[in-house]
Chain A
Amino acid sequence: MGLEMDPLLHALSYFRRRKFQQCSDLCSQLLEKEPSDQAAWCLKVRALTEMVYVDEIDVDQEGIAEMMLDENAIAQVARPGTSLKVPGTSQGGGPSQAVRPVTQTGRPLTGFVRPSTQGGRPGTIEQAIKTPRTAHTARPMTSASGRYVRLGTASMLTNPDGPFINVSKLNLNSYAEKPKLAKALFEYIFHHENDVKNALDLAAYATQHAQFKDWWWKVQIGKCYYRLGLYREAETQFKSALRQQDMVDTILYLAKVYSRLDQPLTALNVFKQGLDRFPGEVSLICGIARIHEEMNNISAAAECYKDVLKQDNTHVEAIACIGSNHFYSDQPEIALRFYRRLLQMGIYNCQLFNNLGLCCFYAQQYDMILTSFERALSLAESEEEAADVWYNLGHVAVGIGDINLAYQCFKLTLANNNDHSEAYNNLAVLEMQKGRVEQARVFLQTASLIAPHMYEPHFNFAVLSEKVGDLQRSYMAAQKSQEIFQEHVDTQQLINQLKQHFARL
Chain B
Amino acid sequence: MSLFKAREWWSTAVGNNEEFDQGCLCVANVDNSSNDQDKIIVGSYMGFLRIYNPHPIKPGDSMQPEDLLLEVQLRDPILQVEVGKFVSGTELLHLAVLHCKKLCVYAVSGSLGNIEHGNQFQLKRMYEHTLQRTAYNMTYGPFGGIKGRDLICIQSVDGMLMLFEQESYSFGRFLPGFLLPGPLTYSSRTDSFITISSCRQVESYKYEVLAFAKDAETQETEQQKLGSGKRLVVDWVLNIGEQALDICVISVNQLISSVFVLGERNFFCLKDNGQIRFIKKLDCSPSCFLPYAVSGTVVNTLIGNHNSILHIYQDVCLKWAAQLPHIPVAVRVGKLLNLRGMIVTLSDSGHLQCSYLGTDPSLFQAPKVEARDINYEEYDAEMNKLQKIIREARKIKDIVPKSEKNEDLSLGVTILSGLDSVSQATDSEVTAEVVPSTSIKIRVESRQLILIKLSVHVQSPLALTQDKFIFELEPYAPKTLLLSAFLKGNCPPADLEGSALASYSTPTGVPKVVQCKFRLPLQLVCFPAQPSKTASQKLTIDTNKLPISLVTLFPDFADQTEEDQLNALGFQLLAGSRVTLLASKTSQRYRIQSDYLEDLWLITKELTLRLEEHFRKQNCKDFACSFSGPIPLQEYFEIIDHHFELRLNAAKYEQLLSERAIQFRAIERRLLARFKDKTPAPLQHLDTLLEGTYRQVIALADAAEENQTNMFQAFTKLKSATQLVILLISLWQKLSADQVAILEAAFLPLTQDAQELGWEESVDAAVSHLLKTCLSKSSKDHALTLSNQLCIPKDTNRLKKHITVLYDRLAKGGHMSLNTDVDSQQTMIPQGGCATILESDLEERSASQDSPAMFTNHRQLMKQKTKSGLPQYELQEAEKP
Contact = CB atoms under 8 A, between A and B. Distances in A.
Given A348-B364, A494-B866, A388 B855 contact: no
Interface in B9-32: 17, 19, 21-22
Contacts of B157: 6, 8-9, 12, 39
B24 to A, nearest CB: 10
A490 B855 CA distance: 14
Contacts of A450: 837-840
A395 B854 contact: yes
Nearest to B866: A463
B278 interface: yes
B87 interface: no
A479 interface: no
A138 B287 CA distance: 37
B847 to A, nearest CB: 4
Contacts of A388: 845, 848, 850
B280 A281 contact: yes
The listed residue with most A CB atoms (<10 A of its CB), out of B361, B850, B857, is B850
Nearest to B368: A375
A42 B198 contact: yes
A183 B243 CA distance: 10
A125 B668 CA distance: 14
B281 A39 contact: no
Contacts of A442: 827, 830-831
Nearest to B872: A433
A75 to B, nearest CB: 17
B422 interface: no
Interface in A97-116: 98-104, 109-113
Given A180-B179, A249-B281, A281-B316, A456 B855 contact: yes
Given A134-B841, A450-B839, A112 B847 contact: yes
Contacts of A16: 21-22, 245, 329
A354 B280 contact: no
Contacts of A118: 843-844
B850 A354 contact: yes
B846 interface: yes
A193 B689 CA distance: 37
B876 interface: yes
B875 A451 contact: no
B831 to A, nearest CB: 7
Contacts of A102: 842
Contact of A179 (B22, B199, B872): B199
Contact of A384 (B241, B266, B845): B845
Interface residues of B, number: 103
B45 interface: yes
B57 interface: no
The listed residue with most B CB atoms (<10 A of its CB), out of A312, A391, A403, is A312
A133 B21 contact: no
Contacts of A399: 857
B89 interface: no
B362 A346 contact: yes
Interface string A132-145: 11101100000000
B754 to A, nearest CB: 16
B879 interface: yes
The listed residue with most A CB atoms (<10 A of its CB), out of B2, B136, B198, is B198
B276 interface: yes
A9 B239 CA distance: 25
A344 interface: yes
Interface stretch (A76-84, A158-166, A259-267, A415-423): A415-423
B361 A355 contact: no
Interface stretch (A148-156, A194-202, A214-222): A214-222
Given A133-B839, A313-B318, A362-B853, A1 B46 contact: yes
A101 B75 CA distance: 68
A295 interface: no
B852 interface: yes
Contact of A183 (B200, B279, B843): B200
A460 interface: yes
Given A375-B366, A432-B865, A38 B179 contact: yes
B298 interface: no
A248 interface: yes
A46 B198 CA distance: 11
Interface in A391-410: 391-392, 395, 398-399, 403, 408
Contact of B846 (A55, A110, A183): A110
Nearest to A179: B199
A490 B863 CA distance: 8
A282 B281 contact: yes
Contact of B369 (A342, A374, A445): A374
B294 interface: no
Contact of A375 (B369, B669, B823): B369
A337 interface: no
A5 interface: yes
Interface string A340-372: 011111111011001100100110000000010
Contacts of B827: 438, 442
B191 interface: no
Given A42-B179, A421-B840, A398 B866 contact: no
A378 interface: yes
A126 B869 CA distance: 43
Contacts of A419: 837, 839-841
Given A103-B842, A137-B841, A183-B199, A449 B100 contact: no
Interface string B234-260: 000001010101000000000000000
Contact of A385 (B364, B676, B848, B876): B848
Given A385-B848, A490-B862, A134 B46 contact: no
Interface string B555-594: 0000000000000000000000000000000000000000
B200 A216 contact: yes
A279 B277 CA distance: 11
A18 B840 contact: no
A303 interface: no
A104 B840 contact: yes
A422 B281 contact: no
Contacts of A219: 241
Contact of B854 (A311, A343, A426): A426
B47 interface: yes
Interface in B274-304: 276, 278-281, 285, 287
Given A38-B179, A314-B321, A422-B854, A435 B876 contact: yes
Interface of B: 1-3, 17, 19, 21-22, 45-47, 75-77, 79, 100, 134, 136, 157-158, 177, 179-181, 197-200, 239, 241, 243, 245, 265-266, 276, 278-281, 285, 287, 306, 315-318, 321, 323, 329, 348, 361-364, 366, 369-370, 390, 658, 665, 668-669, 672-673, 676, 788, 823, 827, 830-831, 834, 837-859, 861-863, 865-866, 869, 872, 875-876, 879
18 contacts: A3-B76, A5-B100, A12-B136, A16-B22, A42-B180, A98-B859, A109-B852, A110-B846, A113-B847, A133-B839, A136-B841, A316-B1, A351-B847, A389-B850, A403-B875, A419-B839, A450-B839, A490-B859
Given A371-B369, A490-B859, 16 more contacts: A3-B75, A5-B100, A6-B157, A8-B157, A10-B45, A13-B21, A16-B329, A100-B852, A245-B239, A311-B316, A341-B3, A388-B848, A391-B854, A398-B854, A434-B879, A449-B834
- Smallest CB-CB A-B distances: 9 pairs: A132-B838, A419-B839, A180-B198, A137-B841, A101-B851, A345-B1, A216-B241, A351-B848, A132-B839
Interface of A: 1-3, 5-6, 8-10, 12-13, 16-18, 38-39, 42-43, 46, 55, 68-69, 71, 98-104, 109-113, 117-119, 125-126, 130, 132-134, 136-137, 179-181, 183-184, 214-216, 219, 230, 245-249, 278-283, 311-314, 316, 320, 324, 327-328, 341-348, 350-351, 354-355, 358, 361-362, 371, 374-375, 378, 384-385, 388-389, 391-392, 395, 398-399, 403, 408, 418-419, 421-422, 425-426, 429, 432-435, 438, 442, 445-446, 449-453, 456, 459-460, 463, 467, 473, 490, 493-494
